[in-house]
Structure formats: C-alpha cells, structure tokens
C-alpha cells in the first residue's frame, strides 16, 4: 500500500473514531459475556459495523461486489504482529486444545475418530475441560465400538462437565452409529458429509479435514476468529456469523495461511484479544487495529475502557 492510501485509511479511521467517541458518550454499551469463547452477538455486531465503516463497507457479508482484489490494509504487518505475540504458543489451546487430545499412537482411523470427538466436545467448552474429558474417554476406550457399548449415563459421566454434555451424549452416540453404518467406522471424507453428522458444523468439518485427513478445505472459524477478524477489520463488511467470516477471510487470505489461522487467533483471543476487555494497551496491533484505536482513544489512560468496567463489576 502506498503512502497516500495509508493516509487515506488513517483519515477515515480518525473520522470514525471521533464519531464513535461521541456515540460512546450518549450510549453506554453493555457487553454481555455469552460464554468463555465469545462476546454476545449484539456486541459483536456493533463492533463489526464500526470496523466495516472504517473499511468503506456496509451491510453484512464478506468478499466484494465483483472486486476480488480487496484485502485489509496492512494485513501483513498485522499478521506479523499476531505471530510475534503468539510466538510462545503458551495459550490454553496450545497444550489442551482439540488438536492436542488424540492418542498419537492410534491407528489412522481411530485417530481421525478421536479428532472428531474432541472437536465435538470442544464446542462451548474450555480447553481444560475438553482435555480432561478426552483423557477420561481415551482411558475408557475411544472408538465407535467402545462408545456404542457404553451406556448413555456412563458416557455422560465421562464427558461431564463439557458444555451441553447431555446433548453431546446423544450426538456422539448417533454419530458412532452413522460412522459404523456408512463409513466402516471412519469419519466422512468430505466437508459436506461431515456437516450431516449431528452437532457438526463447518468449523468442525474444516478442522477435521485438516487435522484428521490432512486436507485443507477451509479456515476453521470459531467465535474467537470471528470476533478478532471483525475487530481487526479483516472482513470487508461486518459479518454476523462465523460462517460469514470464514467466507470473508477466504476471499482474500492466501491459502497457505489458512491452516494456522484458527490456532493463531484462538490463542490470541484467550490471552490478549479476549471477548470482554481486550488488552489493547499491550497489543502490538493497537495502532493498526480499528477497534483498538477506538478503544484507546475513548479511554486513553486505562488502555481498555471495558477493563475498568469489568474490574468494577468484580468488586
Ligand atoms: S488492538 Fe485490541 S481489539 Fe485490536 S487486535 Fe489488539 S487486543 Fe484485539
């Protein structure tokens, strides 16, 4: 990007910042913690709308109106900063995430099954809890046959307290039946078929294809990737769902970066760009990130306006 474009982007952003500061004085935005992984849909939408305005977009969705060359301003520098901040790889997801829960010595078919089960358990669940449940399941015997032979109540005890554990017992049992019936106990070989399993959506399917089959079919977008992408302005327009964000990211991001994007951003979202009270003051992207600039301008002394709100709420 040449100097004129950088200045133009900066000017547009400054205008937006002033507007947002005025709006902030009128309206106190209340942030609601949806779960450990994400902000409430309403707050994400507010963030997304603000960022998209600074990018010159409107409405929802990614990609472009026939303009296939759009890419976020200075995204390479932003990415480099993300990689620097994540160099230690010491977030919970790095040691206890769904990718760390399988029996590395298992035969490929069993390994793939364990990938699928760990991803099913990880939805709406902290990594520590997923890891503990997977450890218990592996000790119990983690194959379709062993789970089908396990009473529902016992399976529930093994995976408790993962999020929606009762529903997941049902999903896992049904999935095991389908895998036995249609795939000889293996997991489906395509995203489309994977998404037909109960409780499996695009995020799980793409991660399963990548980790289980070694095929890169798409970016695994969860609430962390969704939230951070919108805060950074990495979608041309605001996106309302992780699936919209996936399409918006894939529209411009080079494919060789897709595989690491989930782990990179999830860990960053656990440690720095958290759902409520992101630590913008200590973020290397604070001068490049539209959301971070807004937050710091609105509350320059505290580094993050919502940090102080959270503290007050905890007292
Ligand atoms: S500046 Fe703040 S909102 Fe932007 S990426 Fe960094 S922590 Fe997240």
The per-residue pLDDT for 135 is 97
Q: What is the pLDDT of residues 133-158, one digit of tens each?
A: 999 999 999 999 999 999 999 999 99
How far are the Cα atoms of 153, 207, 222, 260 from residue 225, in angstroms, in the given order? 34, 13, 5, 11
How far does residue 291's CA lie from ligand 1's centre (Å)? Answer: 6
Answer yes or no: pTM beyond 0.85. Answer: no
C-beta 265 within 6 A of ligand 1: no
The pLDDT tens digits for 242-276 are 999 999 999 999 999 999 999 999 999 999 999 99
Ranked by mean pLDDT, the top range of 3-12, 18-27, 229-238 is 229-238
Asked if residue 284 has its Cβ within 6 Å of ligand 1, the reply is: no
> pLDDT category, 300, cuts 50, 70, 90?
low
Task: Supply the mean pLDDT for the chain.
Answer: 82
* Cα 289 to ligand 1 centre (Å): 6
Tens-place pLDDT, residues 187-232: 999 999 999 999 999 999 999 999 999 999 999 999 999 999 999 9
Averaged pLDDT for residues 108-135: 97
Instruction: Tell me what pLDDT residue 98 has.
Output: 85
Please classify residue 88 by burial: count the beta carbons closer than 10 Å to its beta carbon, then call 0-12 exposed, 13-18 middle and 19+ buried.
exposed
- Model confidence at 298, pLDDT cuts 50, 70, 90, reads confident
Q: Is the pLDDT of residue 62 over 90?
A: no
- Residue 285 in contact with ligand 1 by CB distance below 6 A: yes
Closest CA to 50 of 274, 231, 227, 225: 231
Question: Element (H or E) spanning 225, and its range?
Answer: helix 223-232
Give 280 Cα–ligand 1 centroid separation in angstroms. 5
**Is the pLDDT assigned to residue 22 strictly greater than 70?**
no
pLDDT of residue 72 exceeding 80: yes
Name the residue with the closest Cα to ligand 1, atom 3: 292
Is residue 79 over pLDDT 90? yes
114 pLDDT more than 90: yes
Token code pair at residue 77: 């520098």
Q: Which residues pair with 313 in a beta bridge?
A: none
Q: Is 292 in the pocket of ligand 1 (CB under 6 A)?
A: yes
SS3 assignment, position 38: strand
The closest alpha carbon to 227, from 64, 70, 46, belongs to 46
Condensed to tens digits (0 to 9), the pLDDT of residues 28-61 reads 222 222 233 334 444 444 554 444 444 444 444 4
Q: Are 210 and 182 in contact (CB under 8 A)?
A: no
Q: Is residue 304's pLDDT more than 90?
A: no
Specify the residue with its C-alpha closest to ligand 1, atom 2: 280
pLDDT band at 10; cut points 50, 70, 90: low
* Euclidean distance between CA atoms 131 and 125, whole angstroms: 10
């Amino acid at each position: 990007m040449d100097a004129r474009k950088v200045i133009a982007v900066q000017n547009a952003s400054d205008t937006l910042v002033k507007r947002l500061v005025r709006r902030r004085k009128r309206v106190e935005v209340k942030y609601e913690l949806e779960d450990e992984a994400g902000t409430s849909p309403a707050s994400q939408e507010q963030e997304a709308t603000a960022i998209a305005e600074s990018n010159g977009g409107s409405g929802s969705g990614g990609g472009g109106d026939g303009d296939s060359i759009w890419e976020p301003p200075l995204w390479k520098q932003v990415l480099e900063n993300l990689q620097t901040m994540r160099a230690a790889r010491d977030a919970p997801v790095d040691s206890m995430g769904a990718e760390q829960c399988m029996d590395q010595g298992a035969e490929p078919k069993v390994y793939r099954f364990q990938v699928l089960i760990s991803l099913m358990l990880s939805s709406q669940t902290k990594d520590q809890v997923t890891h503990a449940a997977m450890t218990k399941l592996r000790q119990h015997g983690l194959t379709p046959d062993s789970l089908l032979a396990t009473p529902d109540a016992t399976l529930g005890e093994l995976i408790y307290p993962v999020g929606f554990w009762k529903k997941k017992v049902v999903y896992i049992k049904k999935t095991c039946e389908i895998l036995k019936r249609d795939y000889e106990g293996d997991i489906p070989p395509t995203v489309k078929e994977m998404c037909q399993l109960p409780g499996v959506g695009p995020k799980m399917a793409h991660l399963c294809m990548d980790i289980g089959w070694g095929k890169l079919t798409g970016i695994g977008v969860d609430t962390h990737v969704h939230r951070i992408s919108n805060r950074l302005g990495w979608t041309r327009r605001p996106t309302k769902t992780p699936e919209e964000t996936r399409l918006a990211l894939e529209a411009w991001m080079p494919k060789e970066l897709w595989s690491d994007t989930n782990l990179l951003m999830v860990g960053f979202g656990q440690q720095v760009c958290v759902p409520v009270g992101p630590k913008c003051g200590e973020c290397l992207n604070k001068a490049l990130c539209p959301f971070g600039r807004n937050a710091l301008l609105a509350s320059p002394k505290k580094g993050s306006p919502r940090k102080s709100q959270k503290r007050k709420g905890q007292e």
